[in-house]
Homo-oligomer: A and B are copies of this chain.
């Protein structure tokens, strides 16, 4: 007689995420899960990468509706961009990524960037199989977001503070934000960037190269 095993949606997600990660690592693909509010600049940074990050990479973009963001990335010069419409869902799941991988040739890729649905809360709790989870903040959002949405900042290994070109225009205590990030993760890497001017993105690209080299060094 077959034994029926019930597992929670969260546990099921974790099993598939672990499978995804094994697949990525077997192909030498370093995978990044990008989480941030609507409009923080996730897509703008990926557009900048199309012309300034020389490694081979693909992008998967999750949105409740539309393929606007993957179209932007394709138009910026990277044909390897794929949309997932969640149809109402507030985060990507490992299953959605696994399904999308059928369309993506991982051979010869160095990196896979997954732009999660614009949301500071729900995406933080679902592993997709990534090697690095990053949080993107932006100056116009205000400087108390780390305190108000802690879950993401406990789990993110790196934080990008984007739209840094607006630092003088708006009240924003950036030292306080960095301090709040370090409360949740003493080892967090913090980058101050502007997707508009390119400021600070070279340091972020260097971290990606260092982390990939470290993971695949043996």
Chain A residues within 8 Å of B, Cβ to Cβ: 37-39, 63-66, 68-69, 88, 90, 117-122, 138, 140-142, 144-145, 147-151, 163, 166, 169
| A124–B147 CA distance with the chains assembled, in angstroms | 24
Name A152's closest neighbour in chain B (CB-CB).
B64
**Chain B residues within 8 Å of A122, by CB:** 90, 119, 121-122
Q: Measured between C-beta atoms, what is the minimum distance from A74 to chain B in Å?
A: 16
Beyond contacts A64-B150, A68-B144, A90-B122: 15 other A-B pairs, Cβ-Cβ < 8 A, are: A37-B37, A37-B39, A38-B120, A38-B141, A38-B145, A39-B140, A65-B147, A65-B148, A66-B148, A68-B148, A88-B121, A90-B121, A118-B149, A138-B140, A140-B166
| A3–B38 CA distance with the chains assembled, in angstroms | 46
Q: Measured between C-beta atoms, what is the minimum distance from A71 to chain B in Å?
A: 11
18 contacts between A and B (CB under 8 A): A37-B38, A37-B118, A38-B141, A38-B145, A38-B148, A38-B149, A39-B138, A63-B148, A64-B149, A90-B90, A90-B121, A90-B122, A118-B120, A118-B149, A119-B120, A119-B121, A140-B163, A169-B169
In the complex, the answer to whether B119 meets A39 with C-beta atoms within 8 Å is no
Candidates B69, B117, B140, B145; contact of A121 at CB < 8 Å: B117
Q: Measured between C-beta atoms, what is the minimum distance from A172 to chain B in Å?
A: 10
**Chain B residues within 8 Å of A169, by CB:** 169
**Chain B residues within 8 Å of A63, by CB:** 148
Name A142's closest neighbour in chain B (CB-CB).
B39
| A140–B118 CA distance with the chains assembled, in angstroms | 14
**Chain B residues within 8 Å of A166, by CB:** 140
| A75–B52 CA distance with the chains assembled, in angstroms | 46
